[in-house]
Amino acid sequence: MEKQKNGLGRRKEAVTRVFLSKGDGKITVNDKDYKVYFPLVYLQNQVEAPLKAIESLDKFDIVINATGGGVKGQAEAAKLGIARALLEVNADFRPVLKAGGFLTRDPRGVERKKPGKKKARKSFQFSKR
């Protein structure tokens, strides 16, 4: 595998483009190390999870461009993007990644605001008199 593989990940409003190439386990997000970009350990684990599932944490260099959403959405979008890129590398990873739930796009987003309400469901204070 000489050419880099890529995958697209989305979650809420976040979109990540993932570029995967042979290497020694360097993961960069928006030109920063992922441990700097995602300071919370559980978000770092989200990004590493698909690589841990196929036991190749130190076999690939990954470059991620993340836009939109918040930090959590971006981390989870990166997880999906990495899993999709790994499938392009080797289709034999599919059963393991599928079992880990890494190939499912999480469809949950923000519920729209309704008229006459403060937010999607929150109402204004009700006064009988």
Structure tokens at 57: 């944490």
Per-residue pLDDT tens digits for 33-67: 999 999 999 999 999 999 999 988 888 999 999 99
Name the pLDDT band for 129 (thresholds 50, 70, 90).
confident
Name the pLDDT band for 17 (thresholds 50, 70, 90).
very high
Query: In whole angstroms, what is the distance from residue 73 CA to residue 45 CA?
Result: 14
What is the identity of the amino acid at 65? Answer: N
